[in-house]
Amino acid sequence: MNKLKILHLYPDLLNLYGDRGNIVCLVKRLEWRGMEAEVVKYTRNNTEPPNLSDADIVFIGGGSDRDQKIACRSLLKCKRELKNYVEDGGVTVAVCGGYQLLGKYYRLGDETIEGLDILDIYTERGENRLVGNVVLKSDIVPGKIVGFENHGGRTYIGSHTPLGKVIYGFGNDDSSGYEGVAYKNVIATYLHGPLLPKNPLLCDYVLTNAIKRKDPNFSCLPPLDDAMESAANKYIADRFKYKWRT
Amino acid sequence: MRKLLAVLAGKLLTVAGKMAGKKSSSGPGEFAVRLCPQLLGELPKHVKRGIIVTCGTNGKTTTNNLICSALEAKGYKVLCNRLGANLLNGIVTSMIQEMDLLGRFSVDYACLEIDEENAEPVFDYIKPDVMVVTNLFRDQLDRYGEIDIATDRLKRAITKVGELKLVLNADDPLCVQFGREKGVTPFYYGVSEKVLPQLDDIKDGRFCPICGAEQEYNYYHYSQLGDYCCPSCGFKRPNIDFEVKNVRLSPAIEFTVNGKPMKISQKGFYNIYNFVAAYSVMNVIGESADDFSSLLKAYKTPIGRTQEFKFNKPVILNLSKNPAGFNQVIATMNADERKKDIIVAINDKRNDGRDVSWLWDVDFDKVRNSRLNMLITTGMRMWDISLRFKYEDINVDMITPSMSKAVKTCLKSDSDVCYVLVNYTALYPTEAVLTSLLKNGGGWD
Q: What is the pLDDT of residues A27-86, one digit of tens each?
A: 999 999 999 999 999 998 888 889 999 999 999 999 888 788 888 889 999 999 999 999
How far apart are the C-alpha atoms of A177 and A172, rounded to whole Å?
A: 8
* Residues of chain B that touch chain A, judged by Cβ-Cβ distance less than 8 Å: 138, 141-142, 145-148, 202, 212, 214, 354-361, 381, 383-384, 386-388, 390-393
Q: Looking at the domain covering B42-295, what would its CATH class be?
A: alpha beta
Backbone phi, psi, residue A177, to 5°: 80, 10
User: Which stretches of B192-271 are assigned E, i.e. beta strand?
Assistant: 216-222, 225-229, 242-248, 253-257, 260-264
Alpha helices in chain A, H assignment, sequence order: 20-31, 65-75, 79-87, 97-100, 200-214, 227-239
Model confidence pLDDT, tens digit, residues B307-347: 999 999 999 999 998 999 999 999 999 989 999 999 999 99
CB-facing half-sphere around the CA of B335: CA atoms within 13 A? 16
* Residues found in chain B: 445
- Measured between alpha carbons, how far apart are the two ends of chain B, in Å? 55
Backbone phi, psi, residue B294, to 5°: -70, -30
Give me the residue from A133, A193, A232 closest to B354, CB to CB: A133
**CA nearest neighbour of A19 among A6, A31, A30, A32:** A6
Residue B83's pLDDT band (boundaries 50, 70, 90)? low
Give kind and range of the element (H or E) at residue B374. strand B372-378
* Cis peptide bond N-terminal to B251, omega within 30: yes
Domains of chain A are 4-243 (3.40.50.880)
Are A212 and A218 within 8 A, CB to CB? yes
Give me the residue from B148, B214, B393 closest to A64, CB to CB: B148
Q: What pLDDT is recorded for position B98? A: 84
Alpha helices in B285-423, H assignment, sequence order: 292-295, 323-334, 382-390, 403-412
Give me the residue from B142, B355, B387 closest to A232, CB to CB: B387
Rounded to an integer, the average pLDDT of B281-303 is 89
Rounded to an integer, the average pLDDT of B28-55 is 86
Min mean pLDDT across A164-173, B15-24, B96-105 is at B15-24
Query: pLDDT of chain A along its 246 residues, tens only?
Result: 679 999 999 998 898 888 899 999 999 999 999 999 999 999 988 888 899 999 999 999 998 887 888 888 899 999 999 999 999 999 999 999 999 999 999 998 888 999 999 999 999 999 999 999 999 999 999 999 999 999 999 999 999 999 999 999 999 999 999 999 999 999 999 998 689 999 999 999 999 999 999 999 999 999 999 999 999 999 999 999 888 887
Q: Does position B108 have pLDDT exceeding 90, yes or no? A: yes
* Residues found in chain A: 246
Residues 6+ apart with CB under 8 A from B248: B254, B255
How far apart are the C-alpha atoms of B76 and B169, rounded to whole Å?
A: 26
Backbone phi, psi, residue B121, to 5°: -65, -35
How far apart are the C-alpha atoms of A73 and A67, rounded to whole Å?
A: 10
Mean pLDDT for chain B overall: 90
Residue of A nearest to B349 (CA): A132
Residues of chain B in contact with residue A21, where contact means CB-CB under 8 angstroms, are 357, 360, 388, 391
Q: Where are the domains of chain B?
A: 42-295, 307-439
Rounded to an integer, the average pLDDT of B51-59 is 95
Are A200 and A29 within 8 A, CB to CB? yes
Q: What pLDDT is recorded for position B444? A: 47
For residue A159, give how far its alpha carbon lies from the nearest alpha carbon of chain B (Å).
30
Note whether A197 contacts B: Cβ–Cβ < 8 A: yes
Cβ neighbour number for residue B38 with a 10 Å cutoff: 12
CA gyration radius for chain A? 17
The reply to whether A192 belongs to the active site is yes
How far apart are the C-alpha atoms of B191 and A118, rounded to whole Å?
A: 48
User: Which stretches of B11-59 are assigned E, i.e. beta strand?
Assistant: 47-55
Active-site choice (A72, A160, A192, A203): A192
The reply to whether A220 belongs to the active site is no
Q: What pLDDT is recorded for position B15? A: 75
CATH superfamily label, B307-439: Mur ligase, C-terminal domain (3.90.190.20)
Backbone phi, psi, residue B263, to 5°: -135, 135
Cβ neighbour number for residue A220 with a 10 Å cutoff: 9
For residue A229, give how far its alpha carbon lies from the nearest alpha carbon of chain B (Å).
7
Interface touch B355/A228, C-beta < 8 Å: no
Rounded to an integer, the average pLDDT of B113-129 is 92
Residue B4's pLDDT band (boundaries 50, 70, 90)? confident
